[in-house]
Amino acid sequence: MANSEELLAMLDDKINFGQELMVKLQSIQDIDGVMKLQRKIRQEVEFLKKLQKSKKVKIEQLACSNLRHLGAMVECALRPGVVAVCKIFHINDESKLVIDIICDEGKTWCKVIARNPKSLSALSSGNASYGARSILDQAEDYIECAKLYPCMYQLPKVVFEFVSGIEESLANRLKAVGVIVKGEILADSNPIEEYDDSLDSESTDNESIHERQPTTLQEVSECISSHPEITTLNLDVTAMMAYVSNMTNGHCNYVFKQEVLTQQSEWDAERPVKPILDKLFEGKTLICCNTAWDDFQKIVNTLGGPMEKIRTAELKQRLTVFPDDYGGTDDYPRHNLKVRGHVRLRSKIIFNFGHRVKALTVSANEGFVRAAKQQGVTYAAFIHESRALTEGKEASAKKIIL
């Protein structure tokens, strides 16, 4: 452990670093929000100077300084093409979001992350105090907010830059929700934990949750073998869409007019979802509730192509559809789950149905699972990457000859 002289020397270094950052920002004073960033740095420096005067410095006080993150923001702000920093956007009357860096004439939103990669992964896996928001939660905030503020009729690209690097599994999950990941991709520090029934300390029925999106058949096999008691799968709308989509059934070689579809096609070429679901479905009883099936069928009837409709009919032969209220009444926590934000009524109905019949819910709706956990409610869920129906868009897309 460092002695007092070493701690004071470290404190001096941090103060000098903060002052250097403020000097660096003087060259870009005309950029929107730079004065706000300077003010944040000045507050950190003033706090450190008070510690310096007291000569009572603890290592914890130095460790919790925000200067490393602010320093990374300064480096990003000094790059060409930056038009604003610390920009506030209102999501609704009650919520707002601060965007770290805006560049490319407003077409790119960047978030700068300097946290330890292991702590980022732990937080995103649920190993954090109640109410703590993970980088995945923040990613969805950025994506949702970007939809409200198009630039030149295009949604801003969302870039998360990891100064200290990011572990591979978490990087893949961010990419799956539409975030562009920058920074060194590191090997996972821990083996994938398929299920963790200690995520909710107040749970009395050993709820388990698979939160990491599996990308290999090996991972799915390990998940299945470690939980032989799970024999019934409850399919969410997103799972059924991914299963019947043309994209996941050998037609991911297209560049679509819709950027999100092209992006999903690239992901499926790298990380095919259909083999994952096929492996998961082997030997299992497949069920869903009326709400899930009715909404899925409406989507297929509206957007689905001929082959997607045939696959839907084939899936229906394997699937048993139950009334929404089948299995009795919801327990207290799930009945009282508040519908807000990422907790939508449809998802609540589908996941609660799965819980009542003791099935594993298969879904791409990771946002719901995390938002429910924020309210203290966990679900047994297998999360896969999202895929859309694409057959109807192929006629206007450019086919890639492999």
**Do 306 and 390 fall into the same domain?**
yes
Relative to beta strand 185-186, strand 166-167 is: parallel
User: Is residue 209, in this structure, part of any structural domain at all?
Assistant: no
Question: First vs last Cα of the chain: how many Å apart?
Answer: 59
Structural domain that includes position 106: 79-190
Q: Categorize the per-residue pLDDT at 228 as very low, low, confident or very high, splitting at 50, 70 and 90.
A: confident
**Do 322 and 244 fall into the same domain?**
yes
**Do 313 and 388 fall into the same domain?**
yes
**Do 365 and 223 fall into the same domain?**
yes
**Whether 13 contacts 20, CB under 8 Å:** no
What percentage of the chain reaches a pLDDT higher than 90? 49
Of 190, 207, 228, which residue sits at a domain end?
190
**Do 186 and 289 fall into the same domain?**
no
Higher pLDDT, 141 or 2: 141
**What pLDDT score was predicted for residue 63?**
66
Least confident segment among 11-15, 226-230, 251-255: 226-230
User: Is residue 175, in this structure, part of any structural domain at all?
Assistant: yes
Output DSSP code: residue 233. Answer: E
Task: Return mean pLDDT, the chain.
Answer: 84
Q: Residue 149 pLDDT more than 50?
A: yes
**Do 38 and 122 fall into the same domain?**
no
Q: Is 338 helix (H, G, I), strand (E, B) or coil?
A: coil
Mean pLDDT of 227-255: 92
**What pLDDT score was predicted for residue 402?**
64
User: Is residue 35, in this structure, part of any structural domain at all?
Assistant: yes
Q: Please give the model's pTM, rounded to 2 decimal places.
A: 0.60
Mean pLDDT of 73-93: 90
Mean pLDDT of 336-362: 92
**Do 57 and 143 fall into the same domain?**
no
Q: Residue 303 pLDDT more than 90?
A: yes
**Residue 153 region by backbone torsions, left for phi larger than 0, else alpha for psi between -120 and 50, else beta:** left
Q: Categorize the per-residue pLDDT at 272 as very low, low, confident or very high, splitting at 50, 70 and 90.
A: very high
**Whether 253 contacts 396, CB under 8 Å:** no
User: Is residue 2, in this structure, part of any structural domain at all?
Assistant: yes
User: Is residue 365, in this structure, part of any structural domain at all?
Assistant: yes
**Do 232 and 320 fall into the same domain?**
yes
3-state helix, strand, coil in the chain (%, to 5): 50, 15, 35
Q: Residue 311 pLDDT more than 70?
A: yes
Q: How large is the C-alpha radius of gyration of the chain?
A: 24
Q: Residue 232 pLDDT more than 60?
A: yes
Q: Residue 374 pLDDT more than 60?
A: yes
**What pLDDT score was predicted for residue 306?**
96
What percentage of the chain reaches a pLDDT higher than 70? 87
Output DSSP code: residue 208. Answer: -
**What pLDDT score was predicted for residue 191?**
41
Distances (CA, A) of 360 to 7, 63, 355: 51, 41, 8
Mean pLDDT of 207-230: 61
Mean pLDDT of 238-242: 96
CATH of the domain at 114: 3.40.1350
CATH of the domain at 393: 3.40.50
Total domains in the chain come to 3
Mean pLDDT of 247-268: 91
User: Is residue 48, in this structure, part of any structural domain at all?
Assistant: yes
Mean pLDDT of 12-33: 91
Higher pLDDT, 116 or 289: 289
Q: Extract the runs of DSSP E, i.e. beta strands, from 256-377.
A: 285-289, 319-322, 360-363
User: Is residue 8, in this structure, part of any structural domain at all?
Assistant: yes
User: Is residue 45, in this structure, part of any structural domain at all?
Assistant: yes
**What pLDDT score was predicted for residue 350?**
96
**Do 183 and 226 fall into the same domain?**
no
Q: Which two three-digit tokens encode residue 327? A: 């299995």
**What pLDDT score was predicted for residue 61?**
65
Q: Residue 243 pLDDT more than 80?
A: yes
Q: Categorize the per-residue pLDDT at 161 as very low, low, confident or very high, splitting at 50, 70 and 90.
A: very high
**Do 57 and 83 fall into the same domain?**
no
Q: Categorize the per-residue pLDDT at 226 as very low, low, confident or very high, splitting at 50, 70 and 90.
A: low
Mean pLDDT of 184-192: 73
**Do 26 and 151 fall into the same domain?**
no
Q: Residue 218 pLDDT more than 60?
A: yes
**Do 103 and 245 fall into the same domain?**
no
pLDDT in tens, 33-54: 999 999 999 998 888 888 878 7
Which of 351, 353, 385 is CA-nearest to residue 369? 351
pLDDT in tens, 199-212: 232 222 333 334 44
